[in-house]
Structure 1
């Protein structure tokens, strides 16, 4: 196996930046390179779609805000099941095949959005699009589980996360052009462009199956791995199910940032509205800068569990800082909000990397897809729960609600650490090749 290059040139800072950027955007490993190239196109698509979708659904399709929310809630529930099913399917027919198929179905679903005219057709298309995207996440993680070993899995996943954040941002800027035009044609073209870029992202993925097969033939370590596809089910692994359930609670951090914080800033603080953009921009920039360095330091079940524990504490501190921003001084409010954003981002990155490490290290090779499916289903569940939990706590009850959220994060992180104590790496849990 060609391991990701972890060396960093001891030279001038700009040389280090260029080297790290090149390593992230064009990894030496062919599987990592294929996933990265695909992620560039897919993430650009996501950025465009996230920017224009709300106005497209309401102004072009003609749906009410409540109808859009209902359709996406149903789609979110379907995505939970899709994540789980995709994992089992990946173990049987191969993760690369599932990744290509679900990427194609997502692209076609996005292209179908302009044809929707009723709540029913919108919901059906949304179910296909959202479920396909969730299944992609499972399949991509299963590819990483089969293609890399140990800490390299989390490192490559973190580098992909950097690429996804950067190019989602680029797509967001481009999607803003449609908002500036504010025309029906502009919104439709943006949605069609988004779907087209998802389909383009399939091309690099087509080579992955062959790359894994070639690696198995020429790498003795891979050739020695078990080929059985009938591994144990994660549904019988009580410890992993508990960890995944707790991960759903921690995964609400994403909804807190995208739903809770913007509403909190505009409705409960004296900070100017532009602070919403500053918080989101700071979050994106910090994720890009710190995600890979943090990933280098977190590997193995014990370190991953400790990382999740620390993430719970850090997210709790962020909740307290957000709560403290409800002051009369706009300057103090902005300072508190930006401080909270830093803590929030540290907790987000640490929680995600810790959960990736646990998902990879818990899974026997022959059940890598099924275990990743449970992990991604927990993330999807957290995304679905987040708006309800956040609006009924912090946004309704203020400081007391923030304390409840903080307690949830602390409890989830601490319980994860306690749950994995004494857990050993499963047989065949290093890697395998399909």
Structure 2
């Protein structure tokens, strides 16, 4: 089994669990556990802030202990935390468990990217990451479908069963992950000798900040779009579910194809810019759908908005991945990917406030402002990528990631 296959099967398990939790967590916390919605919101906000810290710290842990060990520990911790939700009593315990669950999930996200950075090179890195994103989307959709059974039953025992199933699925991911040999990790699990801190790399920090701005588009789709459709357009409420399915389908079909658009740093910068132009177009279509025009015309505009939004998401993500990999110092790949993932976490954390206070709160001016922010971030990324490139230091033989057949095609001992 190849490294790519190991990561795909692990992603199937963890993302299916994620889909289950997306669907049932709010009702589980408020009805089965008995926590108020305000406490749930506060607790998840605190956990999200902690997730930013763990995403950053995970990079250093990957350089120190190796991505494989970090993945195994984090998956175990997240599975245990999901199961512990069923035993939660009181706000304090809920916040503690939520911090462990969200923090462990962010650690895994950083460790997977660090593993890709160490194992693959060139186009293979974003190609594999694109395939993993497709698997992630499809598996989340499958988990959402499984959770529909619990939602249909609507009892406490059904919600508890769904959460325990998510915990088991997360732990199942340990099975393929344990097959990853330590030899994949750039000299095994020995400590990596750091060369340069990403916190002193102004170019990387600038790119991370710009990508954090662009990454707010994820919450525009999952938070802003539903609020806008149900509260400001003539489209029926069921349109929200159909638009989300449209986004999932487009990402699943086109994400891998989009990697053909990116082959180096300049093309990655162009991809991000083009993606943000599409996001601006999506914002304009969302805004137009809010004007009185009848349900049919509103739905047509919303479909156009989500198509543009999905294409912008696909292209800008592919460009962002390339820059995050290419501009990372190879001897400190974990630390650099930790900074990158922390930036994404920050963007997603502030996105609900930004989206609701601009697009939802101000209407057309807010949509224009939000689209302009996306475009400015894309233009900044393009300008940064167009500068004369300074080549990264070459790794020594001891530091270089191993790309032997065991790293690329075999997991475990070779057959004799």
TM-score, normalised by the number of residues in structure 1 = 0.88
Alpha-carbon distance in 2 for matches of 1:431, 1:64: 51
Alpha-carbon distance in 2 for matches of 1:369, 1:301: 20
1:93-172 paired onto structure 2 within 5 Å: 93-172=65-144
Identify unmatched segments of 5+ residues in structure 1.
1-28, 218-226
Alpha-carbon distance, 1:229 to partner? 2.4
CA contact (8 A) 2:192 2:332 kept: no
User: Secondary structure of the residue that 1:393 maps to in structure 2?
Assistant: helix
1:177-205 per-position Cα deviation (integer Å, ceiling 9, x unaligned)? 00000000000000010011000001111
Alpha-carbon distance in 2 for matches of 1:57, 1:233: 40
1:239 paired to 2:208: no
Alpha-carbon distance, 1:304 to partner? 1.2
1:402 paired to 2:371: no
Alpha-carbon distance, 1:423 to partner? 2.8
Pick aligned residue for 1:302 from 253, 266, 290: 266
Alpha-carbon distance in 2 for matches of 1:75, 1:428: 38
Alpha-carbon distance, 1:146 to partner? 0.7
Alpha-carbon distance in 2 for matches of 1:149, 1:428: 13
- Alignment correspondent of 1:59: 31
CA contact (8 A) 1:362 1:425 kept: no
CA contact (8 A) 1:145 1:431 kept: no
1:22-421 paired onto structure 2 within 5 Å: 30-210=2-182, 212=184, 229-328=193-292, 329-420=294-385, 421=387
CA contact (8 A) 1:31 1:211 kept: no
- Alignment correspondent of 2:413: none
Alpha-carbon distance, 1:296 to partner? 2.9
1:49-84 per-position Cα deviation (integer Å, ceiling 9, x unaligned)? 111001101111112222111111111111111011
Alpha-carbon distance, 1:228 to partner? 5.2
Alpha-carbon distance, 1:169 to partner? 0.7
1:423 paired to 2:392: no
1:248-299 per-position Cα deviation (integer Å, ceiling 9, x unaligned)? 1111011111110001000000000010011100000000000001013313
Alpha-carbon distance in 2 for matches of 1:425, 1:140: 25
Pick aligned residue for 1:432 from 375, 393, 401: 401
CA contact (8 A) 2:283 2:305 kept: yes
CA contact (8 A) 2:184 2:401 kept: no
CA contact (8 A) 2:63 2:192 kept: no
Aligned residue pairs total 396
User: Secondary structure of the residue that 2:181 maps to in structure 1?
Assistant: helix
| Cα distance change of structure 1 residues 85 and 300 upon mapping to structure 2, 3 Å threshold | same
Greater shift after overlay, 234-243 or 294-303?
Answer: 294-303
Greater shift after overlay, 386-395 or 114-123?
Answer: 114-123
Extract structure 1 runs of 4+ deviating beyond 6 A: none
1:208-265 per-position Cα deviation (integer Å, ceiling 9, x unaligned)? 134626x989xxxxxxxxx952221110100110110111111101111111000100
CA contact (8 A) 2:204 2:328 kept: no
Alpha-carbon distance in 1 for matches of 2:90, 2:11: 32
Alpha-carbon distance in 2 for matches of 1:66, 1:253: 25
CA contact (8 A) 1:364 1:428 kept: no
1:84-134 per-position Cα deviation (integer Å, ceiling 9, x unaligned)? 100011011111111111111111111111111211111111111111111
User: Secondary structure of the residue that 1:208 maps to in structure 2?
Assistant: coil
Identify unmatched segments of 5+ residues in structure 2.
408-416
Alpha-carbon distance in 2 for matches of 1:299, 1:192: 43
